[in-house]
Amino acid sequence: MIIVTGAYGLIGSNIVRALNQRGRSDIIAVDNLSNGQKFKNLVDCEVADFLDKHTFLDRVSKRSLFTSQHIDAIFHQGACSSTTEWDGKYMMQNNYEYSKAVLDYCLAFRIPLFYASSASVYGDGKTFQETREFESPLNVYGYSKFLFDQYVRQRVPLAVSQVVGLRYFNVYGAREQHKGSMASVAFHFNQQILNTGKLKLFEGCDGYGNGEQRRDFISVEDVVAVNLWLLDHPQISGVFNVGTGRSQTFNDVARAVIAWHGKGEIEYVPFPDHLRGCYQSFTQADINSLRKVGYDADFYTVEQGVKRYLDWLNRV
């Protein structure tokens, strides 16, 4: 049996789909379905059962989670991922305390754990390497991820089972429609072309020209591939960046969307005041740690990944 938290989200649902393709349907899908639109992400997938995230957390805390069944792994992808959420109490309970309970359960029963961290732990730095001196989050979401990574670092040296934290960079791809404003720019650009024919990008900031802010955009297909490769390599533990290792501009994403549709134009809009001082204008994963443990697959470029995504998103 495999448990996936955040199973109806972008990454979680794609992990479930990939596990199905491996012949696994003994999957417990854990999530908060207050946003009922998310159910669509697993309609074409097979799972053995569903648990509300609060029920799951209660069972984990009481050590009463499927004690009669063997759990092969937990993919802990569930979290509040809003970088504009400033309710620190909620964020720490939902992201930090929840994750601690899952980790403690996994360590107690020697269950491999793969959990979602975030590139937001690096803040506005220019070096994205998995070491303490480069970690300085700009918002409480990033802080919740950073603090849990720190907690994991204390526990991993004593762990007898696999524990892997994955610092996702800018993930885009299939099954993200439910995310609203937090969906990827590729999703929003596609909708803008369909609705108005114009793609809206921020004007320049932090020394970057219009639309030239750079991010490490990674396809969810690549993210899932990394997760499953690590599942297949139980000797590997640690915290790893999951990005392509190359930054590309928002203009690159916009041009890729325009190329797919064969139409559209870019419009630059003023940079929002509420994002000043808490916005990453540049991210680029240092993936040397991931390469050193043996992951050698190529990653899609924006041009390749966006085309594959729009083929899926705009399928008839």
| Same domain (yes/no): 99, 136 | yes
- Catalytic residue, candidates 141, 143, 300, 309: 141
| Same domain (yes/no): 135, 208 | no
Of 173, 117, 51, nearest in space to 289 by CA: 117
Write down the pLDDT at residue 186.
97
Q: What is the CATH number for 86?
A: 3.40.50.720
Q: Which two tokens stand for residue 291?
A: 């390469």
| Same domain (yes/no): 128, 208 | no
Q: Can 179 be counted among the known catalytic residues?
A: yes
| Same domain (yes/no): 50, 131 | yes
Write down the pLDDT at residue 68.
53
Q: Quick one: DSSP state of residue 102? A: H
From the CB of residue 270, how many other CB atoms can be counted at a distance below 10 Å? 8
Q: What is the CATH number for 190?
A: 3.90.25.10
| Same domain (yes/no): 203, 83 | no
Q: Which domain holds residue 25?
A: 2-172+217-245+284-297
- Catalytic residue, candidates 179, 200, 268, 295: 179
Global pTM value? 0.94
| Same domain (yes/no): 198, 140 | no
Write down the pLDDT at residue 193.
97
pLDDT tens-digit readout, 277-307 = 767 789 999 999 999 999 999 999 999 999 9
| Same domain (yes/no): 31, 68 | yes
Residues in the chain where the model's pLDDT stays below 50: 316
CA distance 75 to 114: 5
pLDDT tens-digit readout, 179-209 = 888 899 999 999 999 999 999 999 988 889 9
| Same domain (yes/no): 233, 85 | yes
| Same domain (yes/no): 269, 132 | no
Q: Quick one: DSSP state of residue 163? A: E
